[in-house]
A and B are shown apart, each in its own frame.
Chain A
């Protein structure tokens, strides 16, 4: 059964820092991995989608990498800003069930 874990559960950093969020999955048989952010009481906003054949994707200050064989993905945020404060979720499309399995999320706070 596919399980997705995100470490750390919470993170508080000063503005301007570069930071890395981690996502681990137990079964490497996936179609893709997607990173989202969620603001309190809101829906999810798609950040990056990495297909299983890709190693990384970049959008602005965000860079996501995927190492399928080791079951890991990282989301790198450069020069963090207070507006980056949110919960970040990763999700894998599981090959065996076709279902999207979500991680537990990392709550990020960037203070001025």
Chain B
């Protein structure tokens, strides 16, 4: 059974550019969430999607956005990149929601490492 796949694994951008990251969840998983990991702030929640709907959002500016497709694949976009956006972006998938809250086990991809110059 294939795990969570994230592309690209590494990318370098310059300030002001935009970037799109992709995440393919484990087959059958309908919930996808995104996290930003930096040495200074640790792991921080960005957003969570279920059945193409954003069901939760972290405290990030509007430059960070995401979406989920009907096949559960998800993308996140960061516009007008800043130096501080350099980070490892992690995607996680889980099987389903129980009672509207995701209480399932999360499985993470290898991440997309973004460097902003």
Answer yes or no: B25 CB below 8 A from chain A CBs: no
Instruction: Provide the bound-state CA to CA distance between A36 and B6, in Å.
Output: 18
Q: Which of A41, A42, A43, A100 contacts B45 (CB 8 A)?
A: A100
Contact check, A43 vs B108: say whether CB atoms are below 8 A apart.
Answer: yes
* Majority DSSP secondary structure for residues of A touching B: strand
- Bound-state CA distance A50–B43 (Å) is 20
Q: How many residues of B contact A (CB 8 A)?
A: 26
B56 touches A102 (CB 8 A): no
Having A98-B101, A99-B45, A99-B58, one finds 17 other A-B pairs with CB under 8 Å, namely A31-B101, A32-B103, A34-B105, A41-B88, A42-B111, A43-B4, A43-B109, A44-B90, A44-B92, A44-B108, A46-B106, A49-B104, A49-B105, A91-B43, A100-B33, A100-B106, A104-B42
A-B contacts, 25 of them at CB < 8 A, read: A31-B101, A32-B103, A34-B105, A42-B110, A42-B111, A43-B4, A43-B6, A43-B90, A43-B108, A43-B109, A44-B108, A45-B108, A46-B105, A46-B108, A91-B43, A93-B102, A98-B56, A99-B58, A100-B33, A101-B45, A102-B35, A102-B43, A102-B44, A103-B42, A104-B42
